[in-house]
Structure 1
Amino acid sequence: MEHVIAPAPVPSVAVHGRSQRFPVRRIYCVGRNYAEHAVEMGFTGREAPFFFMKPADAVLSVEAGATGTMRYPSLTKNLHHEVELVVAIGKGGRDIAAARAPDHVWGYAVGLDMTRRDLQTEMKKAGRPWSIGKGFDASAPIGPITPASEVTDIYTATIDLQVNGVPRQASRIDRMIWSVAEIIEHLSSAWTLAPGDLVYTGTPEGVAAVVSGDVLEARIGGLQVLKLRIQA
């Protein structure tokens, strides 16, 4: 097939222990999936899961053992960190039952849903989409993906984030309101999932602002550490 312009490169993420990379098709994100984070955002209760998306090329892949660099984005004075478990989809499908969801998971990684909070807040007040607050360039940093076959006890793992060595966020994956299996069930009822999709599963409480020069270190038990420096 010929194109009138050269197709853009396919975004991809490093895979732990392999030279091959994981190609990214879509990035889905779950909103307010930890009760304590919902409270700090002004909400309570187990509401039905809701989703937003980031462009595939918003992914910022950081290699194992490296410290990635993210430029402080334009238009904001209130850039927030949100550490999350990322699920990499290896087998597509529609209307996937929760009981079958693990069969569709290729692997797991530590991710950051970086957020221009001031712009997101403005959009919320105006009843407008969040895209400018959530879907900007490099807004989805992610560490290497570990294949699911090499991960144990991921759903009881700890999740935490430090900024300049100071703890900011700390929780456990089993404190998610909606489990990974339930997320896949709900998500696949709205969209047909496909290999290459990434699902950011929500963040625990403790989200806060970062500034240029800050170094973020995000961890989930059993997965590769994600380190990121914010650059002016």
Structure 2
Amino acid sequence: MRIARIAQPDGLAFAAIEGEGDDLVAAEIADEPFGKPTFTGRRWPLADVRLLAPFLPPKIVCVGRNYADHAAELGNEVPAEPLIFLKPNTAVVGPNAEIRLPAASERVEFEGELAVVIGVGGRDIPVERAMGSVLGYTIANDVTARDIQRSEVQFTRAKSYDTFCPLGPWVETEFDPTDVAIRTELDGEVKQDGRTSQLVHDIPALISFISTVMTLRPLDVILTGTPAGVGPMRPGQSVSVTIDGLGTLTNTAAAR
């Protein structure tokens, strides 16, 4: 099921996205969207509503240098253990929202990523049970002020500006992330072109490792890393991240 949060004529709502291609419909969900949803019966063509970020994660755990080719392009070694850091949930924006480029940075870059949404969560989750903790998957752009990242010991400021974590367009609860294509386009030109099978540390390993450090809660998000090809955005440029089977997340860069 594809679960989205939408702005519809009467306000905000959760909805299941049904159909394919140009015939997508948003079917309103009454209450809890991530359990057994109850539908209100109200439906809108997707073109008549606005997609928002699917939800606000309690925390966003990011994984750095998890594609060997991306680590190499930045001159870094592949870490033996997952390299993790956090983004604040105040960085989250939805599809078609602006990515605001801060004046403090001269080089803000896109990083298209597969995002894992936690369902059950827990602590010290064994690898063999890790996938049972997953609610679903969505798409993320781990926007990074690269010049700031390179100038500081830790990543917090470079990764945490408001609008630096676009999420969407929805959460897909029935999806096999093992080997799917992930592509990022800047103004229609392909910049990143990888596959999730290239992850250095796979999803079960990430969930298990992170859960030994911090308790994972329902709706926490794990950003699994980005393939090679990251690059800068300028005001007015459009960046689209597509993951086969999940859809496309598009945002436009703008001056802050």
TM-score w.r.t. the length of structure 1 is 0.85
Cα 1:28–1:16 shift into 2, 3 Å:
farther
| 1:30 maps onto 2:63 in alignment | yes
Tell me if the contact between 1:85 and 1:108 (Cα under 8 Å) persists in the aligned partners: yes
Cα 1:45–1:15 shift into 2, 3 Å:
farther
CA distance in 1, matches of 2:131, 2:124: 14
Measure how far apart 1:16 and its partner are.
Answer: 5.4
Count of residue pairs brought into register by the alignment: 211
Tell me if the contact between 2:100 and 2:162 (Cα under 8 Å) persists in the aligned partners: no
CA distance in 1, matches of 2:221, 2:180: 19
Match of 2:145 in 1: 116
How do residues 50-65 of structure 1 correspond to structure 2 at under 5 angstroms?
50-62=83-95
Match of 2:170 in 1: 145
Measure how far apart 1:15 and its partner are.
Answer: 6.6
Match of 1:192 in 2: 215
CA distance in 2, matches of 1:187, 1:175: 20
Q: Does the residue aligned with 2:128 lie in a helix, a strand or coil?
A: helix
CA distance in 1, matches of 2:15, 2:113: 17
Q: Render the CA deviation track for 1:121-172: whole Å, top value 9, x for unaligned.
A: 100xxx3x22111111111101133332x22x32110000000011100000
Q: Render the CA deviation track for 1:45-74: whole Å, top value 9, x for unaligned.
A: 452111100111211122xxxx22222223
CA distance in 2, matches of 1:216, 1:163: 5
Tell me if the contact between 1:15 and 1:146 (Cα under 8 Å) persists in the aligned partners: no
Identity of aligned residues (%): 34
Cα 1:171–1:56 shift into 2, 3 Å:
same
1:49 to 67, 78, 82: 82
Cα 1:122–1:15 shift into 2, 3 Å:
farther
Q: Render the CA deviation track for 1:147-206: whole Å, top value 9, x for unaligned.
A: 32x22x321100000000111000000100000110001000000101020110100001
Cα 1:15–1:40 shift into 2, 3 Å:
farther
Tell me if the contact between 1:35 and 1:46 (Cα under 8 Å) persists in the aligned partners: no
More strand by share: 2
CA distance in 2, matches of 1:199, 1:39: 22
Q: Which has the larger radius of gyration?
A: 2
Unaligned runs of 5+ in 1: 1-12
Query: Structure 1 stretches (4+) deviating beyond 3 angstroms?
Result: 13-16, 18-23
Tell me if the contact between 2:185 and 2:241 (Cα under 8 Å) persists in the aligned partners: yes
Cα 1:132–1:204 shift into 2, 3 Å:
same
Unaligned runs of 5+ in 2: 1-12, 18-26, 34-53
CA distance in 2, matches of 1:231, 1:46: 34
CA distance in 2, matches of 1:37, 1:103: 29
More helix by share: 1
Match of 2:135 in 1: 106
CA distance in 1, matches of 2:177, 2:83: 23
CA distance in 1, matches of 2:194, 2:77: 18
TM-score w.r.t. the length of structure 2 is 0.78
Cα 1:130–1:14 shift into 2, 3 Å:
farther
CA RMSD of aligned residues (A): 1.9
1:40 to 45, 64, 73: 73
